[in-house]
Structure 1
Amino acid sequence: MIQFLSSTVYQQLNHYKNAIKNDVFNDKIKEESYNLHVETSGYEGENDFKLTSTQCRNRQAHLAALALSQESIGQVRLSILCAAAEWYQQLVQSDGLPATWREFIKLFQARFQSSERIEALKIERNRCIQQSDESVADFYQRYKGLALEIDPKISEKPLKRHLLPKLRPDILQLMGGVDADKLTLPDLMRTAAKVELHMLQRKKGAQQRTDELAEFSKAMKSSKNRNNKKSIHIQQKDVQLILNP
């Protein structure tokens, strides 16, 4: 699970919703079981997504078996790594797509939810800080993607507590008067983005003043040189008058 699915897989997920009939499941797959909310209304079909071999070979038909709501697709797109999309394409190319959704879940969890991988992600999250050339928005999505991959059920409060100190020190300094406890995480990130914009505008203004000062200094120097040349020319004429009265 990382930050996004490839656009191709995302389009297939949307297209796939119309390929299966009502009641694909006798019961809903719970979010607690698979970390995904599955929407089953509006579909008909066999239990447990038992697809025919022809359907299994059809990528779009197979993706319809996921039966994800628009909201769930957005969550998957946000939290699944590029590696997951590549892994799926490898399954397609090797004709290794499972026949049921539950089999697909098992394969996915075996590939992306091992304890070793989670520990590696925790180390990466601990080292994750906003870079000097990284915007608040980009850092927020990067850190949130890591946090969701480690714990898809993480609540806003711990996410906010861990994320805030990872912002750039200069941004945090100007946010010193902000009561983070009274703001939601999105509002807090919007505040940080406003501070970032203010800093950029101030930096741009300072650079503009520096450039103007440099131009003024250059003009003064040029004017001084012209005056010096004029003075030397007058002195030379005076000397000639003295020598040749």
Structure 2
Amino acid sequence: MKYTEISHFSHPQHKLKFENSEFPFKCDGCKEVGIGSRYKCTMCDFDLHMHCAIPAPKIFHSFYTKCSFQFFSRPPGDKPRFCNACERDVTGFVYHCKDCGFDLHPCCAKLPMVLNDGEIKLYLYRKVSASCLKCGRKGRSWTYRSSCKKYNLHVACVKDMLMENWQGYIGEKSARKFHTRIPSLKNTLLIHNGRKSKSKIGWEMAGLALQFVISAVLGDPTTLIAGVIGSMISKAW
């Protein structure tokens, strides 16, 4: 359920208002990057993904049928923890299974099992024995795979790519600065062993798959945000 305004335990001094942003932000809950729907305190420049702003106390996931994940505002224990979906460090809000020790970022836990815009359909798998378009490796992390089985993208690789391209922007608050730093996504996909596909249609489909996986990983798998990501990709060429 979406609320226009909420109070949140992590920021009790002010209420947070719902808004849509076309610019990336760092979530103050899970500490991961986001874009699109968020809850924001304009007075303190405090941001939360929707999944971090309104978390469920307990969740279950089809990839871990024996697990029960509880929400924690910080990683439990004193040892470094990592997300089992994207392999990135857990430094903030997290869903944790006490019995198995598995951890999931809130946005990773809520990744759609299917992404479908009518042109391409992508399914989320825990492991895929096929090469990732980005890194060329197999079975690194959770993976989105197209129904035609030609396009595979690790969730971990997409997050790594975003952090590499947006590292200079995250933390800056000027939209004008952002427009001079459109993420350079050029040459980030390894198509056919590191070479661009000779088929223009094949390359466009790979780009389409990428933009929808990016939008899902950022916590807002909507056509609107996918379109924003698509414009970033097109400007990078």
After TM superposition, the score normalised by the length of structure 1 is 0.26
User: More strand per residue: 1 or 2?
Assistant: 2
TM-score if structure 2 supplies the norm length?
0.26
Q: Which has the higher helix share?
A: 1
